[in-house]
Chain A
Amino acid sequence: MHLNELIHKHDFEEILYILRRHPVTFIPTIFLFSILLLLPFGVGFILEAANPDIFTENFSRALTILGTSFYFLATLVFFYARFVDYYLDMWIITNHRVIDIKQTGLFARTISEVELRKIQDVQSDVRGVFATFFNYGMVEIQSAGAEVHFNFHDVPDPHRLRRELIELIRKDSAWHAAHPNE
């Protein structure tokens, strides 16, 4: 399956933006992953200091090898799952609509969308030291029906995105005004 099929892209539709959270927001996960990878070395050092013979005995060596091996493999898979959670959370903006794809864990995905002409209000928000420094923040979209409320969390350059979204909405509304039957 291609991304076009996932969002059921129309023939006239053109994908303009594929947005994900700013990469800097993934750094805490990388940091946590690094700590988890270093943890067995620290624990091993402490255990060996407490009992120098602990890893020389055959049984404890065998158990340590299998346990540590599983721990490292599980940590790598955990990191991969976190990466997919980050990578598959995305917002797609086309010349016709805005699509919100939300990945929750490995087995849950929510896709919602709103047509550009139905969007009533777009707000951008940059808050915090890191967000200001790395220029990422939230873009909030409110549809005319007041039912659809999209939040683009931690997207890069939210103020520029808001301006470009408003311009797209203006163009789409103008097109629909000129073609009322379409």
Chain B
Amino acid sequence: MIAIPLTGFVIAYFILLAILLIFYAIIIYQLVATGTFTSISIVVTIILSAAMVAVLVTTAGYASAINWNDVVTLFGDGTSSIF
């Protein structure tokens, strides 16, 4: 279970992550819209998607080992949520 503090940098991370995923979706849309989502582009998309999932899973793994309440305390922000 990961405790996610509602501090600025964690929120910033999720906002930036959302922007990146929107960009990623736009890129895939460009390939589909031009009818070039075939062969090489599909392989590249699968490899990059797998790499992104691996990064996210690794991040979650490392993040779960952190005592986020200490980080929250350090920021003076008592609010935290656990999910």
Minimum distance in angstroms from B73 CB to a CB of chain A: 9
**Binding site of A, secondary structure by majority: helix, strand, loop or mixed?**
helix
Minimum distance in angstroms from A129 CB to a CB of chain B: 26
Q: Which of B18-39 contact A (CB under 8 A)?
A: 20, 23-24, 26-27, 30-36
Minimum distance in angstroms from B29 CB to a CB of chain A: 10
Q: A80-B24, A106-B30 are in contact. Are A69 and B48 (CB under 8 A)?
A: no
Verify A80–B13 contact, CB threshold 8 A.
Answer: no
- Tell whether B67 is near chain A: CB-to-CB under 8 Å: yes
Q: A1-B33, A1-B35, A66-B59 are in contact. Are A59 and B70 (CB under 8 A)?
A: yes
Verify B13–A84 contact, CB threshold 8 A.
Answer: no
Verify B41–A106 contact, CB threshold 8 A.
Answer: no
A-B contact count (CB 8 A): 92
Verify A62–B66 contact, CB threshold 8 A.
Answer: yes
Q: Hey, which bits of chain B sit against chain A, CB under 8 A?
A: 9-10, 13, 16-17, 20, 23-24, 26-27, 30-36, 40-41, 44-45, 48, 51-52, 55-56, 58-59, 62-63, 66-68, 70-71, 74
Q: Hey, which bits of chain A sit against chain B, CB under 8 A?
A: 1-6, 58-59, 61-63, 65-66, 69-70, 72-74, 76-77, 79-81, 83-84, 87-88, 90, 101, 103, 106, 109
Known: A58-B67, A58-B71, A69-B13; 10 extra A-B contacts, CB below 8 A, are A3-B34, A63-B9, A65-B66, A69-B59, A73-B17, A73-B55, A76-B55, A87-B36, A87-B40, A106-B23
Q: 5 A-B Cβ contacts within 8 A?
A: A65-B59, A65-B62, A66-B10, A70-B16, A87-B40
